[in-house]
């Protein structure tokens, strides 16, 4: 077997922030490689088909390339088109459908990066893996039934069926409204007493009005306690009730792969929020040469970082390296 090539930088994650890091590295003449476990911008690819971003198009731009959009807010399809064009324009060095399993720093200061296909060596590593891969589970009996979904693509499958949507954030609200408009009998189960304030401002009044008029049923201060093939038990302030049910959309959020970070040597600085330790000026973790970029920096506070406010991580990291 030949010697393993050593890169100046390996970037784990081929989303917008990983791509931004690659562009910054390319402009500085660094020898880099992006490793992405799925398709280009894999998380965006797995978003609901008709999702609309909260951000305007210009706030999603990377590499100083304009993002042209007719509507005030771009949708998933437009974003995929934009980032594909970014890849083609910069001819980014990226391996798709190659998943990193381990990052380990060696005594000589280099990193061994192991994937499902091969192994690499790097002087520096950026972890920009986002947070969309691991759902926040309900941890109730029956959650592993096929009728339970933690990801939502579109409403047609649920038309004319009795569905329960768990949660009151953007993904839950979007799914509840779209499924209702497709003809589903929709019930929302919400742990708190209101729709989340971070729900898109043009969508929040819509779902609140549908709940007020009774088109969408909602149980506040409530949670699912058991899921069965044809029914769901819900603990409400008035006691436990049982509803007939065909599908449960448990859209209760997602979290970064914190175990992967810790196995790579990164410490958790805040146990409450599970925030990884890093220098906010350089984005370097407690492991010298190992950097964090994008949403993964927020730990369980996945609402803290977005494309629009973490694009700057790319230049911060590359400036620290060079």
111: CATH: 3.50.50.60
Cα–Cα distances (Å) from 68 to 50, 72, 278, in that order, read 18, 10, 34
Domain span at residue 204 reads 137-250
Question: What tens-digit pLDDT sequence spans the chain (322 residues)?
Answer: 456 789 999 999 999 999 999 999 999 999 999 999 999 999 999 999 999 998 899 999 999 999 998 888 999 999 999 999 999 999 999 999 999 999 999 999 999 999 999 999 999 999 999 988 899 999 999 999 999 999 999 999 999 999 999 999 999 999 999 999 999 999 999 999 999 999 999 999 999 999 999 999 999 999 999 999 999 999 999 999 999 999 999 999 999 999 999 999 999 988 889 999 999 999 999 999 999 999 999 988 888 888 999 999 999 999 999 9
Q: Where are the beta strands (DSSP E) in the chain?
A: 6-12, 32-35, 94-95, 100-105, 111-115, 119-127, 134-135, 148-149, 162-166, 185-189, 217-219, 223-227, 231-236, 239-244, 247-250, 254-255, 268-270, 275-276, 290-292
For residues 144 and 157, state if they share a domain: yes
For residues 121 and 211, state if they share a domain: no
For residues 51 and 157, state if they share a domain: no
For residues 100 and 219, state if they share a domain: no
Q: Please tell me the total count of domains within the chain.
A: 2
For residues 218 and 272, state if they share a domain: no
pTM score of the predicted model? 0.92
In-domain check, residue 1: no
For residues 119 and 158, state if they share a domain: no
């Amino acid at each position: 077997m030949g010697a393993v090539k050593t890169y100046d930088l390996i970037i784990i994650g081929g989303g917008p922030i990983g791509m931004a890091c690659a562009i910054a590295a390319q402009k500085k003449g660094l020898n880099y490689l992006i490793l992405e476990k799925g398709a280009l911008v894999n998380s965006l690819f797995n978003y609901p088909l008709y999702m609309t971003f909260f951000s305007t198009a210009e706030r999603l731009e990377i590499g100083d390339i304009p993002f042209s959009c007719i509507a005030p807010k771009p949708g998933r399809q437009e974003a995929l088109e934009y980032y594909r064009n970014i890849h083609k324009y910069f001819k980014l060095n990226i391996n798709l459908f190659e998943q990193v399993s381990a990052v380990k720093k060696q005594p000589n200061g280099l990193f061994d990066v192991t994937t499902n296909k091969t192994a690499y060596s790097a002087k520096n590593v950026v972890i920009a893996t986002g947070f969309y891969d691991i759902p926040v589970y309900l941890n109730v009996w029956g959650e592993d039934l096929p009728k339970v979904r933690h990801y939502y693509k579109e409403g047609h499958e649920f038309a004319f069926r009795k569905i329960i949507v768990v949660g009151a954030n953007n993904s839950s609200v979007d799914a509840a409204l779209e499924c209702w408009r497709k003809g589903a009998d929709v019930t929302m189960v919400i742990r708190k007493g209101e729709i989340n304030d971070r729900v898109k401002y043009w969508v929040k009044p819509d779902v609140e009005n549908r709940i007020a008029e009774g088109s969408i049923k909602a149980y506040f201060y409530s949670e699912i306690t058991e899921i069965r093939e044809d029914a769901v038990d819900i603990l409400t302030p008035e006691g436990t009730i049982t509803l007939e049910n065909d599908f449960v959309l448990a859209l209760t959020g997602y979290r970064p792969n914190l175990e992967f970070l810790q196995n790579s040597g990164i410490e958790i600085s805040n146990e409450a929020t599970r925030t990884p330790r890093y220098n906010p000026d350089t984005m370097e973790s407690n492991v010298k040469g190992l950097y964090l970029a994008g949403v993964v920096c927020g730990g369980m506070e996945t609402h803290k970082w977005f494309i629009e406010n973490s694009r700057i991580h790319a230049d911060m990291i590359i400036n620290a390296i060079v």
